[in-house]
Structure formats: C-alpha cells, structure tokens
Structure 1
Amino acid sequence: MSQAPAPTAAAGSAQSAISMIARQAIVNGQHVVIGYELFNRSRSVSGHTAASDVILVFTALSHAGTEELVGKKLIFVNCTHESLAGGHLELLDPDKVVLEIPPLGHAAKDEVAARLPILTGLRERGFHLAFNHTVLESAYAAWLPLADYIKLDLSVLAPDQVAVLISYAGRHSRAELIAEKVETAQQYDMVSTMGVQLFQGYWFARPALVQAKLLSPGQASIVQLINLVRQQASTDAIEEVLKKDAGLAFNLMRLINSAGFGMTREITSFRQAVMLMGLKKLFRWAALLLTASRTGGVPSSVGQTAVVRGRLMELLAAECMSPEEADQAFVTGIFSLLDVMLGMPIESALGLLSVPEPVAAALLHHTGPLGELLTLAQACESSNDALFDRAAASLQLSSQQINMAHLQALAWADHVTET
C-alpha cells in the first residue's frame, strides 16, 4: 500500500501512540486465508467489554492500515447484542465484515424474536453474520436462515456431536461451517472428512500481534473541521484543514483506504477522501475523534460520557422524532461536555462551533425536545429518579425504551475513548 500524501504543516502537533491488535487466520481446505478474526491486545483494554470488539474494527481500519492487518480478506469480529445498532457500523463496507453474534444464554423464544429485527436489518444492509453451534438449537430457529457462517468449537464438542451438527446444518441452513479451535491433524482430518471446508485454530496459525501506530490530531483542528462540515463548506476549505494537521490527515486516509470502507482503488488525495466520504460521515467521524482526543489532560471518562450521551440521545430521538432531529440529538449529546473538553465556559465553546439553533438552545438552556433529551441523559447518569420521570413523561418514552437505549449507548461507547 502506498503512503498517503504528507501534510504540509503542523506535523509536530500530532501525538503518537501504539495499540496492539491480534489477528488469527481463517483458512479453507487448501490453506488459503479467506479472513481474519481480530482481537484487541492493548494493555489499556482489560478483557472483552461490551462493543469493544466491534468498535475494534473502526479503530483497526482507521489506524493500522489495510495490508498490515487484513488486506482484502474478510474481517471477523465478535460483538455484543447491545452494540449491534451502533452508528460506527455506518462507516464500514458491510460486504467486508462478518459480525459474530453471541447466543443469549438461556434463550427464551421471546428474546430470540426481539433480537430478530436488528439481525435481519444488518443482514439486509449487507453484513455477513456468523453464529456458534447453538444457532442450530430449536430455540434459535428464527435466526438460522440469517447465518452465513456457523462456528463449531472443537474444544467443547465431542466428535459424535460434531457429526450430528454438521448433518443438521447441511439440511436446514445455507451457512458455511467453520471448525474453530483446531489444534491437531487428527481434528482437521475428522472435520474435513465430514464436509467442513473452513478452519481456524492453532493447527493453522496462532494469533499474530500487529502494532497499530496512531496519530492523535489537535483539538483545534478537529473543531475547525467540524465547523466547516456543519457549514457545508467547499472541499477546498476542508482539504486545507487536513493539510495542516498530520494526525487528522493520517487517520482519515487510513480509514478511507481500509478494506472495511470498500474502495475499489486507493485514494491518494485529501480531496478524493472528502468527496467519497461525504459530509455526514465526515462529521460523525470528526465528532467521535474530538471526544477521544487527549490534549489538555482531559480525563478519558469525559470523552466517554459525551459519546454515551450522544448515542443515547440519538437512539431515543429515533423513537419519537424525525431523522434530522435524531442527527441533531447526537450532536447535542456529544457536544454537551465541550466546556470540560476545551477548558472554557459552554457559551465560549459554542462560539467556536457552528451548530443548529435547536442544538444551541438545548446546550445553553436545556430548552426544546433536544433539551429534554439532554436532561434525560443526565438523569440517567445521576440516578435522579424525579428528573428521569419528568423528562421521560415529557418525551412520552417508557422506562423500558430508555433503559434499553442506555445499555446500547454504554456498549457502543465502551471502547471509543480507549482508542
């Protein structure tokens, strides 16, 4: 992969960091790699947290580059049910991504049915879905037609169980079977004889670590970019901002040229990147980048809280408002801690940004529907029951709707501010 064009100034303003990403190959019967499963191995990440593996895709594609990680292969990534509606998936080319869907534990039919619309929607958008062998149980019958891949874990399944599952899957699904945790030649011979054609495990390859270099752009450059996008400025004006901040330019070119973004040819200019990404995606990317920036010693919890608020408000607005208002709800939540992030009063912080009037009213005075949503989001953080009940009643939202959206928002934001 050739390098992105070098920024012309302010290269010293970017801060560098290293994150560790592991990948393990998934191969076919000819030992040709068809995809990689990604794992986060950074020291800052303690185990698998909700959405961390899904948002790992965005992190990996933005910062690690294409060839070092997955090339043109499929990306397999574990996810949680709470994270599946996350806006980060909008930044990816669905055709390149396989979402590994976990079982629900002691699944009841109503739980399986409740998750079906989200899974169906992901499949219709073009994402591939993978499940483990439990999807072959009768409780998950509604999910089975959605399966592109079914993983058979040889560390927990006896040979006779494997044979029964392979036979059942062949009769009742169109999914390709992947034997995982393949550690010996005998295991490989057994499952390949039974008809399995895809394999993953130590017998083929152990997870390999890749160092992902990350450049952190300056907050001033991100704020300037957000302003220009909100004003629908010319491509020339946006391009000039990118040329002046190495971190901003580096991250954008990594993302746009990643396999997950789905470009058929390499993008080598900032102008091409801006035009192909589009203003809506460019704004969401820049807003998330602002919350994760580290200059000025702002605690990471501040950025994470802002991301949770933005996503929570967006999800709730989608229940009772127009798509445009849902977008504005995201803006309101993610900018609601600008005073802390930028170290100045909120009035002064908003003076630096171009935001719609309803957003400004919500941030400054907590007025209008967006102000009510912001109040509700803050009530969720503080466990203020009276405030929660008043805002929920005003918005005509049930506690169940709010709690589900809050869980999804927490899951989605869980790893964004650790990248």
Structure 2
Amino acid sequence: MYFYAARQPILNREKKLIGYELLFRDSLDNVFPNINEDEATSRLIEGSQLSLGLEDMTGDKPAFINFTLETLVKGYAKTLGTKEVVVEILETVQPGKRLLAAVKELKEMGYTIALDDYKHAPVWRHFYPFVDIIKIDWLDTSIDQIKEIIAQTKDFPSIQFLAEKVETPEQFEQAMELGFHYFQGFFFAKPEVVQSRALAPNEMTLAELLYETSSPEMDLKKVTEVFERDVNLSYKLLRYSNSAAFKRRAEISTIKQALVVLGIEELKRFLSVLFTAQVASDKPPELMRLCLTRAKFAELLSEQAGQYQESSKAFLTGMLSLIDGILDQSMESVLDKLPLSEEIKLAILNREGRLAEYLGLVEAYEIAQWQKAKEIQDKLSLNADEIPTAYHDALQWANLQMDAMSK
C-alpha cells in the first residue's frame, strides 16, 4: 500500500509555524468524493503509524487530522499521542450524544479538539466547553457570519479561531483584525508589494552561481571565478567543505579544490540553503522550507521521468517559484533581473514546457488537488507509486537543510 498525503502549514499571528494539516487520499486514481471518509481517516492513521512516521511529515509540530464520527467512536485518535495530533471533527459530522461523549473523553485525556469548516448551529454550544479551536473557511464564510460565530462563543474565551484558505496578505490582515489566532493557506508566500526590495549584490552573486550550477555541464572555471570575487562566499564555501560532516582526509585550501571535492550535487545543495537563507531572512521560516521542498520534489520528479540532464533546472525552477513572495515584487520583475535560462523563466512565468509540468505537479500535491496531480502524472508518464515517496523524500531533505541553517 502506498501512502498518499500532503500537508498544509498552519501559522500563528507572528507567522510562526504551529502545526500542519495532513490531507490524505488513497491514490492519485481515487479522489474525493469517491473515497469513504472513514476509510480516508483510518488509512491516514495507519500510514502515519506504519508507513511513514508523523515526525517525517510534521517534525515536532502537531498534525491536524480529520476524524469522522465512526473513527472517533472507534478510538482511532487515541493511537496518537496528545501532543502529536489535533483532532479535527469533519464538517460533515452531525452533532449528537455519541459525538459529544467521544469529544468529552478525548478532551479529558488531554487531546486538542478542533471543529473543521465550522457553520454555526445552536446545538454546537454543548460542545464549546471541550473545543479548543474553531476553523472557519475564509472563502466560504461572510464577515457577518464570522462576527456572529465569534459573538456566540464569547462566553468561552479559551476557544481560538483558525482561518482556512487565507491566500493573500490582505486576507491575513483582515482576519487578524477580527481576532483570529491561527491561519492556514499560502498567504505567507504571496508578495507584500508595499515592502518590495531588490536583490542585494551578494544575493545576485548567489543567483549567478545557481544559474551556473543548473547546467548539466558546469563551467568549473567560471564558478571558481564567481566565488573568488566574493570573500564572504569563499569563506562559507571553505568552511562548509571542511566541516566534519564530510570527513575529509586532508584540509581543503583553495576554492577550486573545494568545488571539485564537493561535486555538483553537494554544491547545489550548499547554494540552495545559502540563497534561501539570505534572501528570505526576514520571512517566515516556513516559506524557506516550502522553497526547498519544491526544489527537491521537482528534481526527483524529473529523475523519475528519466530526464536526468534537466533535473538541475527542475530543482532551480522549484526553488525560485516563490521568489516573488520572498522579494515582495512581481514575478516578472524579479525574473527579469536574474540570470536564468529562458526555459526556467518560461516555466515559472508562462507555465510552458516540461519544467512547468513538474512545478504544476508539485503545486497540486501541496494543496491536495489529486485529480490535477493525476492528469500531470499521466502526461509525464510517471509511475504513480513513486510520487509519494519523492514527496516524502523532499520533505525530509528540506527539513535537514532547515536544521543546518538554524545551527
């Protein structure tokens, strides 16, 4: 059995990561509403316990997981630790005595309870003493309805509100003003034009290096010259290549030697971490993690397609696909200033070419658009069974890079 799951980050008012919602499907061939919700929840629990540990998907953050009435009554949530999971009651679940008893028991055991895609009805008031989070679909709920829900819960100050499908900085600010505590959606990856800035000279140097290393035939002389022009970059390269992680027999003392010893793949990883850390230093860390995950996932997809020579370009396409949100400028303006191949620019801007297909599959996976993912998978003649593994590998790789940046 293959474990298909995507994740969506949940951030607080300071744009700090507090957890991930996990979104499950049986396969790319079998998408909702054709999957039974009880089976989807049970498969997610089984997969996270047996096929892939939750920590691989969420690190040290809790997983927000949807539960049906039947899976709650059967005690599936209890197979996970109280700190590992936020129990989301699906919006399709009808409130009643069985549900109330299950929720009360979980709350007494220390679990965090959330109501998903909440639509107000008086009967839910019986659940308020045991509810920690109310999730509201921002796109499907009017401001007046939101204010009414908040008013109805005023006697329960411990209840916190989470806005789902928040996709722009403007929506985020509006939800903040209404008193929301948590936010789900890719608003943090969108440009805030009022704060736009350009790439600094050292960041342009990194961009140039990324371009050079994206070529299957790297020009070692040219890359060496770029490093030698920047003392700070040279220092970081030498320090990285001399680190204990590589267990060198002899110390590296020149730029060219460091590049040769590292090799193209390790150099690319080094540059991706460095570039992401520098240009996104004032952005939520989750944006950096998303860039790195996209990069690695796109690279692995290109390799699965047998296009090994373009895997480096796929990597760079994925990594730069959110550069507009990092620099708070339009994508056209940013890419016009970067020394990138036309193939990469066309993929990001116009969604043309095979690189654009990889990026489209990556994006579909992020938001669990499984039908779209299947269409692209079929177009690229990819093996559906290998895609979840590539996604999970990309997540783990990104986590390792983020850990390296934090040290």
Q: TM-score range by the shorter chain?
A: 0.3 to 0.5
TM-score (norm 1): 0.43
Q: Taking CA–CA contacts closer than 8 Å with sequence separation of 6 or more, which of the two structures ends up with the larger relative contact order?
A: 1
